[in-house]
Structure 1
């Protein structure tokens, strides 16, 4: 293992691990699965971590359950067994896993809390999704609820509960109500963050353990930067 791999593996923030699953606090900029960039995905880093920790010969089994956008940080769940993977996939597909996000936005929303319903249409060429107020051709319904939880000096902190899991859903829906996420140039913020991140964090996850049937509640610490530090 190279020094770079060692440092990446050692920097991995594990939030929960047992025989069946492992939950990671993803850093902004990490990709969950391999893509055309050729950058090492988080899934490979976790495999290296497991191989090193348990001194495993040969290949390590790891199932990708869901994804987070590259510039986003927070909770990512991987399955460590072939028994856990289909059960976790089913939970996420059927919305039995409750995901809560924090977002730092530019403008104060008109209402301190609201359930947003849009019809999302994805443009694959632009890698972007557009939130429409009514159904359009090839659109899918997107639903979230937000709540304003803190006013910062120049921004606002929203807590978001997702009801559906559409491509770029939170980013697109918040822009549709005039509240682009800090650093998100693609969705209307006026400048990028220095490290290419956006201030969107998968903060909390509640789900039933796929094998033990115990309720898990996992909270991911925020990235260390002045804006996120002001949120606490």
Structure 2
């Protein structure tokens, strides 16, 4: 795993954006494992020789088995304004997903209704008439293929629980390694092939347009192959 300093994608006095690895948790859970936020606080305290506590605000979450961009606020002002951006959907979030089967169309937009089962920690596509149904919208396009696996880029228009995982699984296209949503088998490291690739928003303090891209996990050969193919263009590989 890369050191934390090598995973900082952007930092100023107000924000720090990290490329999360799949084993990390953003917020504390029943495992009691150290959170990504706690790691960052320790890193900043040591790096900047801060005598007191380091403020760090969590602006959004990313599932533990998912890798990619996580935005943290370094000031209370930035945290409040970032919370408003996320609440009002005033930022663009792009994901990459490696699917075990290609969608019927190479690109498209899907609108579904999802219900969340908290006991099972899963979301399911359901009828719009259910009281607990929430509208979920995403757009996707195919970037490349390698054997039976397909890399798609996903523009997430709503932020529902496990939305990408549930919507692709609901169409028979589970994400590689995602046993919870129908994948054939697990990934050796417990990850799933879902990566928060890019974020774009107006900086909450400077008001400049900020766009950050997270490289795919370096230790994963499939991710590296897919990223290389995607950046070369829509060429298919049968290797």
TM-score (norm 1): 0.94
CA contact (8 A) 2:93 2:196 kept: yes
2 CA distance for matches of 1:11 and 1:173?
A: 34
Larger mean Cα displacement after TM superposition, 52-61 or 190-199: 52-61
Moved over 3 A (4+): 7-12
Equivalent pairs, count: 226
Shift of 1:135: 3.5
User: 2:128 matched to which residue of 1?
Assistant: 134
Match of residue 234 from structure 2: none
Q: Residue 166 of structure 1 corresponds to which residue in structure 2?
A: 160
Deviations 1:65-117 (A, max 9, x none): 00000000000000000110110011011111100000000111001111111
Deviation at 1:199, TM superposition (A): 0.2
Do the aligned residues in 1 keep the contact of 2:56 with 2:75 (CA within 8 Å)? yes
Deviation at 1:11, TM superposition (A): 5.9
User: Is 1:221–2:227 an aligned residue pair?
Assistant: no
Q: Give unpaired runs (5+ residues) of structure 1.
A: 1-6
1:42-61 counterparts in 2 under 5 A?
42-61=36-55
Q: How does 1:74-153 map to 2 (within 5 A)?
A: 74-132=68-126, 134-153=128-147
Q: Which runs of 5+ in 2 are unaligned?
A: 229-239
| TM-score normalised per structure 2 | 0.92
Alignment correspondent of 2:10: 16
Q: How big is the alpha-carbon RMSD for the aligned residues of Structure 1 and Structure 2?
A: 1.4
| Alignment partners' CA distance in 2, 1:157 and 1:11 | 28
1:230 equivalent to 2:225? Answer yes
